[in-house]
Structure 1
Amino acid sequence: MEMSVPNAVTATVTAADPAVNSICPSAPRRGALYKIRHDGKTSYLFGTIHVGKQGFFPLEPEVTRALADASALVLELDTRAHKPFEQALAKYGSYPAGDAITRHLSPYALGQLNKALAKAGIALANVAMYRPWLVANILVGSEIEKHGYHRSNGVEGFLLSTAIEQKKTVHELESADYQLSLFASLDDAQQERYLLENLEELENGRAVQKSAGLIDAWSNADAARIAVMARELTSGDSVSATFMDRTLLGKRNPEMAAQIEQIMRTDQIAFVGIGLLHLVGDNGIPELLRQRGYQVEKVY
């Protein structure tokens, strides 16, 4: 999902400076890159992060060459399309007119939220119309940005600017409506729990620590640490971990694998850039494609 790693809601990103699109032989390996083959067709699968730093670009030459060889770029969402995201956000992230978050939280949760908003310099009135999951994601995303990780430096922006420069077709695996509808599957009690869990991790520093840890593992292509971070983010009985494990990954990975199969049935060589956590473990997309009879080679 196009999220500030790992929790913040999908946000429109600005393409990275086209000046960084040139191949840099000394660029370090970042993320994870796979080559997928089936019936004489080849595509590439690359693990992305949705926030980053300008210094992360250009990407490693093998990634740059793979993208150059591709006829199409495939992302979870085409982040240039603002209107569908705004419509989905209004549909799933906001209360109807006349309703507000204050009517859906316990006194304790509302008190914790007020403390967090005051610390972040955000007035309750500015987020009162938003549902708890969205407020939680806004607060986490804001804190991550304070530590130097910005949506404008997300990998999708760099890939999009490169693909546009190379006049490639851009496809989406999902829609903004579908992605944000997943959060609507949480009932009021689960959303309050999700909010409180994220507020606690903001207060004790774990939210930034986990996000920064995953970003650092991506920036060094550290497969072992990526696997450790994935387990940490999906283990335990918290609403956040369960939602990540069962819904954001467990539900979507098979759907994405099926979409990639459809894409590879065409004559296009696709470069598929999706969130790093979708590539990890026995239920990750590389393993799901192997199970479907695809030859999957991990380039790095």
Structure 2
Amino acid sequence: MSIPPAPAAAPADAIQLNDVPRRGALYRVHHEGKTSYLFGTIHVGKQDFFPLEPQVTEALAKSSSLVLELDVRASGPYYRALERHGQYPAGHTISEHLSPAALAKLQLALDKVKLPLTSVEHYRPWVVANILVGQEIEKSGFNRGLGVESYLLSNAAQQKKPLQELETADYQLSLFGAMDDAQQEAYLLENIADIESGAALRKSAGLVEAWGKADASRIAALTRELTTGDTVSARFMDATLLGKRNPEMAASIEAIMRKGDAFIGIGLLHLVGDKGVPALLRQHGYQVEKVY
């Protein structure tokens, strides 16, 4: 759920190399004679992440459709949702909704990245927090326009495969917008503290590196770190971004598989643990095999 959405699609290379490394996590899902694939994505990338390895591209080629959380090319629905859930009504600004201490810390954080307060004053604290973290990630060389979803979309378009979305931008952003003022201030301050300490980049870059090596144990460890602890950010990640959405995604995937097969790309963290989507599908009688 980056701010803003990916502006451009990663190129879909026609040539697949035999020595392309495994990245992410890939599952084969069987049910009632149908076979689908479940792949863990990340929302940022680098040019050398592509092409994806042959097992992934072959799985996409064999599937009848591509399923993603969202069509990241569609900026209109995203910005309408951002206006609804992430911006204050006309005449209101973030300065009126933060404590003086929080506002001072925000001003310092903005000064460090040379962003004037006026450029973000109409956004709610959760949006500003995500903007600041996104800038920190991009400073390390990762590009939102090179996210894995863009690559999959480009390949699927070449193969004339239809796209299905599991969620909407309005729904995703509404989850953040449901936090009250106190939670949003805490979320903002926690993320600023993580940026200052280097933890934000360490966790984000660590997850991308783990995805790039298909390092399941490190992915699991980072997921535990992101969802454990007495912070608004950890509780929100655990209870809402994963805990609420995983069962909903699993139910939508089941509905899709009742009609046919698909290649399903969802955020990597949704695949992890006994409450992840693969585990939930197994609980509902689906045969789920981890390819890697």
**TM-score, length-normalised on structure 2?**
0.99
Structure 1 position 25, deviation (Å): 1.2
* CA RMSD after TM alignment: 0.9
Which residue of 110, 114, 129 maps to 2:103?
110
Query: 1:195: Cα distance to partner?
Result: 0.2
Distance 2:210 2:236 in 1: 22
Give the equivalent residue in structure 1 for 2:11.
Answer: 17
Q: CA deviation at 1:12?
A: 3.0
Q: Within 5 Å, give how 1:275-290 maps onto structure 2.
A: 275-290=267-282
The sequence identity of aligned pairs, in percent, is 64
**Equivalent pair of 1:13/1:157 in contact (CA under 8 Å):** no
CA contact (8 A) 1:194 1:240 kept: yes
Q: Which of 109, 130, 135 lines up with 1:142 in the alignment?
A: 135
Count of aligned residue pairs for this structure pair: 292
Given that 1:29 and 1:219 are in contact with CA atoms closer than 8 Å, whether structure 2 keeps it comes out as: yes
Q: Deviations over 1:213-238 (max 9, x none)?
A: 00000000000000000000000010
The one-letter code of the counterpart of 1:151 is: R
The residue that corresponds to 1:231 in the other structure is 224
Aligned match of 1:298? 290
Given the two structures, how large is their TM-score scaled by the length of structure 1? 0.96
Which structure 2 residues correspond to residues 120-199 of structure 1 after superposition, within 5 A?
120-199=113-192
Distance in 2 (CA, whole Å) between partners of 1:10 and 1:256 is 23
C-alpha offsets along residues 130-165 of structure 1, whole Å, 9 cap, x if unaligned?
000000000000110010011011000000000001
Question: What are the residue-to-residue correspondences of 1:27-66 with 2, within 5 Å?
Answer: 27-66=20-59
- Is 1:216 paired with 2:209? yes
Segments of structure 2 that go 5 or more residues without pairing to the other structure are none
Rounded to whole Å, the distance in 2 between the matches of 1:215 and 1:145 is 12
> Partners of 1:251 and 1:71 in 2: how far apart?
28
Deviation at 1:13, TM superposition (A): 4.0
Which residue in the other structure is 2:199 paired with? 206
Give SS of 1:265's match. Answer: helix
**Contact kept? 2:6, 2:147, Cα under 8 Å:** no
Corresponding position of 2:83: 90
Q: CA separation in 2, counterparts of 1:17 and 1:264?
A: 28
Q: Distance in 2 between matches of 1:55 and 1:264?
A: 33
Q: Helix, strand or coil: the match of 1:221?
A: coil
Gaps of 5+ in 1: none
1:299, distance to aligned residue in structure 2 (A): 0.2
- Please give the alpha-carbon distance, in whole angstroms, between the structure 2 residues aligned to 1:21 and 1:36: 26
Secondary structure of 1:296's partner? strand
User: For 2:7 and 2:280, how far apart are their aligned partners in 1?
Assistant: 29
8 Å CA contact 1:13–1:154 kept in 2: the answer is no
